[in-house]
Structure 1
């Protein structure tokens, strides 16, 4: 009986993958509509459940996208470009990140406050453990966002192969030689391309982090737990969790920045993204409630006299209130 069910599931999955491969653009459009529908649902069903339903739809669309990308990669043999253990862990972490906001909102709406914080802490703890395993066991280098890059479905649909990504380049270690002191990776002569400079890849593999950089990346991984711990001790309205979080991020960036010349182009882009995220602290409580909010509202009141800005100002005021 179990064998018959397994064969039926395998056949259904094979038919779906065949349909997915032949209708990539249609499935991509369905994924986009699922995300768009989650925004339209918010506030338009039951006010007590609309946020939970909207977030459930958004999380489902993210999981649906991850599943489709996984099946397409498997169909075209792209999984062989990355270690199986690291790949499975990245998939698990990506699924957890896709549903963590839904878990938090659902717990806030339907569960006791203590249960809500326990669930949030468990999710962040699992993510932190997974990130440390990637960093220490699989030598993943800097953690990108997102962990798994979106599949270039257009390239697969048109050419049958995906354009080379960071993961594919970092996993093809036999094509590169790592210098022992600087950590730079250079392409070997035997695997060089003789088709001209234009066809060479833009960047090579990921940087092998030294001890100092490992400490900086560890601080970046620990930042959510540090924030939750200080918030549990001092409360959400205190400045101490906010200060502890921004100090942790600044310390992480300061340590990692000391060896910026050793990073690849994509890793430097990740460093720029992390620096930009620091500006988001202005929009986090209690800084937003006590400092940023009133200044933004005064700035918006000045912009109200400028044509075509009244609609945006009205929308921001309605959301803030």
Structure 2
């Protein structure tokens, strides 16, 4: 009984510390996340340890975001099906590489690909529910992004979608009584509506594009099974799916909100990662990257401190992290 009480007191103290010091908590989380990168190659089984540190730091950060949201008056429902799916997908996003490494060390490559397939099936199924039931378009990566704590605690992100309603005749926006922010954060200004509320993306092209993007991991895994993990055909299949999605989305860019356009811009930028994925990496990119880093380290003093470890662990990182479906 005393042990349970002491644990509860420790949890309450931790919760108060997070709520009272959001900026300090952010700094600690950042250091923890970056430390996972420096662990790689420094100790035995470093990939597993590195991913464990990374996963824990990100999951703790996710939970801390939730504590801060609740403490500063957010009305978001964390227990509805939509939010539960988002939490589930975000947890998988932060921990899937660690799970695959653990299974690979225990059951080898066959176990790794089995785990990868199961995880991707779970992710695709959950994402399709978000898309077709809740019209989440496009689904961000990760589904629950990191909270901008400074802006949030300053009261700039308090207003939520369900904190106001629109009068049918006049179209005037009226704040709900229970949707007002805490007194300390009220500025007595008219309700500010995010532009995403006006973005009505019901076109079939959008649903097809997002469905195709969600199913890309399964399509790519099937292509790898048929053509092999190092074949050009599986690489081209995945690239073709991404390009097709972008072309479908491009027809409706002007109708999207700023956040939606940012997510699509991130996806376009992630196409650069195809240069770091097999077989493009093994055939072309590897030699170019290594020769460029070597040349720069010879010309620029002290750069070898950074370029040396990158060259040393590049093959290792490429094998672990640069999956086709990770983007």
CA distance in 2 between counterparts of 1:145 and 1:176 reads 34
Partner of 1:283: 276
SS at match of 1:80: coil
Matched, 1:50 2:46: yes
1:33 and 2:31 are equivalent in the alignment:
yes
Distance 1:172 1:220 in 2: 32
The equivalent of 2:150 in structure 1 is 154
Give the whole-Å Cα distance in 2 for the aligned partners of 1:9 and 1:288: 50
Answer with 204-213 or 297-306: which moved more: 297-306
How high is the TM-score relative to the length of structure 1? 0.81
Shift of 1:7: 7.8
Matched, 1:256 2:249: yes
Normalised TM-score (structure 2): 0.80
Q: 1:163 aligns with which of 154, 157, 170?
A: 157
Conservation of the 8 A alpha-carbon contact between 2:48 and 2:102 = yes
The equivalent residue for 1:180 is: none
1:184 is matched with: none
Identify the range of structure 1 (107-116 vs 96-105) with the bigger mean alpha-carbon deviation: 107-116
Instruction: Give runs of aligned pairs for residues 135-150 of structure 1, distance below 5 A.
Output: 135-150=131-146
The alignment status of 1:242 with 2:235, answered yes or no, reads yes
1:9 shift after superposition:
6.4
SS at match of 2:196: coil
Structure 1, unmatched stretches of 5+, are: 178-186
Structure 2 residue aligned with 1:59? 55
Unaligned stretches of 5+ residues in structure 2: 176-186, 316-327
1:105 corresponds, among 101, 115, 124, to 101
Greater relative contact order: 1 or 2 (C-alpha under 8 angstroms, separation 6 or more)?
A: 2
- The DSSP-based 3-state class of the residue aligned with 2:244 is helix
Corresponding residue number in structure 1 for 2:173: 190
Q: Secondary structure at the match of 1:174?
A: strand
Match of 1:218 among 200, 211, 218: 211
The residue number in structure 2 matching 1:24 is 22
Shift of 1:138: 1.1
CA distance in 2 between counterparts of 1:82 and 1:76 reads 14
